[in-house]
Amino acid sequence: METTITYFEAPGTENTGATLAIAKQRAQQAGVKRVVIASTTGATAREASRAFRDTDIRLVVVPHQRGLRDEERFDMEVAAEVERQGHRVYWSTMLFSTNDLYGNTTPTALANMLRTFGQGMKVCLEILLMAADGGMVDRGEKVIVVAGTGRGADTAVLATASTSNRIKEVRIHEILCKPLLQ
């Protein structure tokens, strides 16, 4: 089998449009009905809702957890707009940011290991687990997961979802795109 992986020369928001187009195309080819997407401020969520407007694919938008920063960064007007279009916006605990909660460094170690593939890959796995834990995607469901490095989207994978207590069941089947690491 031969497939194509798109490598971006640098991470960042300039890759968002291409990443969403790649995710949409692969979702349609694979018959995937849900795309899990990270969005910190709502800008990527808004762009994604436009990109997927003409499809029956539903988005699960996962912002930073509430209380991570002193003020909410995700635009609540965007959340309402995205949900009116039939998508979901879901806040949950960021599983790799729980050292203070559990008193050990296992979450950080896992996050650092995933970052060897890039920040977007770490976020892809984290939001996939968060979405499954909250019932936004089903355990065993194939989904496209989209995330980025800092802002925007530059990483996408085809994966099988599972919950955090069954992390060994998660499968990253295909890397669709990601930035080259320096």
Domains, the chain, ranges and CATH? 6-179 (3.40.1380.20)
Contact, 152 vs 12, CB < 8 A? yes
How crowded is residue 120: how many other Cβ atoms within 10 Å of its Cβ? 29
Q: What is the pLDDT along the chain (182 residues), one digit of tens a residue?
A: 889 999 999 999 999 999 999 999 999 999 999 999 999 899 999 999 999 999 999 999 999 775 555 566 788 899 999 999 999 999 887 676 654 555 566 777 788 888 889 999 999 999 999 999 999 999 999 999 999 998 899 999 999 999 999 999 999 999 999 999 98
